[in-house]
Amino acid sequence: MASDSGVGIHDLSFATTEFVLPHTALAEHNGTEIGKYHVGIGQQSMSVPGADEDIVTMGAAAAEPIVSRHGTDRIRTVVFATESSIDQAKSAGVYVHSLLGLPSATRVVELKQACYGATAALQFAIGLVHRDPAQRVLVIASDVSKYDLDSPGEATQGAAAVAMLVGADPALVRIEGPSGLFTADVMDFWRPNYRDTALVDGQESITAYLQAVEGTWKDYVEQGGRSLDGFDAFCYHQPFTKMAYKAHRHLLNYCGYVTDEARIARAIGQTTAYNRVVGNSYTASVYLALAALLDQADDLTDRSIGFVSYGSGSVGEFFAGTVVPGYREHLRTEAHREAIDRRQPVDYVGYRRLHQRSLPADGGDHPIPAQTTGPFRLAALRGHKRIYERCYR
């Protein structure tokens, strides 16, 4: 059995891309009033991958600081969650395993269920640690959110990776039972194998999200969870940050509370800082919200956080975590801000060029232009194989 201190998130680190497109540039291109972006959906900018960046390079960049701090000896499993997978068979985590030099005695698997996948990975990891408290599990959530140019979803694009080390006696957040679960067969958002960009029914997706909020909360209460007043903050999946406000307002109303804008702001305001400037990071979104909350709040020691994870299609989960004493000594606040600040602004023409770029599919030898200043890059395609390398600078 795990120790009395429980199981949870022992370390957390995130990475994003080389470039950033301000929403002012997007608004100037399409003639949209900037308030529609800054206020209407709550977004300021979106991360844009360079030609040599993808879910593997971001995932490895997010995980490297964790491996550097804690070593590799106790990592027995890598779970890679994504909905923008690069291969139908091979886990993206296997590339990360190689780039980070993890031991061969490691299981590696990729999980998928839209934006919910990282929560499935976290729960999988918790179960493994309960079975063997001596081991730790590296959970990586990495995604590139991509929609058609000039489509309604274009302004909600983004890209980021979050890596979490899950173990007993966690230094950051102890994850607690029970969980509230909900699944419904809904076609609100999907990406067929023959498409590079997702298809989305915006209004249907909002409706499905709110339905999942109700369903997960109802099940959570029925499973013996704490009352709504027992939480000090909430981390929601944020396809755009205004959705978190909409979802929490819906939950309050569903539970019979009078909607209080100040109360909503206190509960989720600090969770939106990173998502607001990174954009939708799909599986990483909830945990990017957690990073923002931990990095900004004055003191969350022994405070309870509600997690609301949603993945279109649709699957949702509500669960609770408690911030452990001494957590601030283990935060990576400066590194997280550096990851955001180091991005190079790109104009709309440059962004459009990157968006329209596609990798050759002829199996030839194709070097990839060097653009990232990050620690890892996609160097080439050779014989239908992706070649990654560490960048030494």
Q: Does domain 7-390 correspond to CATH entry 3.90.650.10? A: no
Averaged pLDDT score across all residues of the chain: 96
Percentage, residues of the chain above pLDDT 70: 99
| Residues annotated catalytic, as ranges | 83, 115, 237
pLDDT at 1: 46
pLDDT at 393: 65
**Predicted TM-score (pTM) above 0.85:** yes
Task: State which amino acid sits at residue 375.
Answer: P
Under 8 Å between Cβ of 7 and 170: yes
pLDDT at 90: 97
pLDDT at 226: 94
Residue 190: burial class (beta carbons within 10 Å; 0-12, 13-18, 19+): middle
Task: Return the SS3 of 340.
Answer: helix
Q: Residue 108 pairs with which residues in a beta bridge?
A: 78
Q: Assign 2 a pLDDT band (cuts: 50, 70, 90).
A: low
Cα(351)–Cα(19) distance, integer angstroms = 9
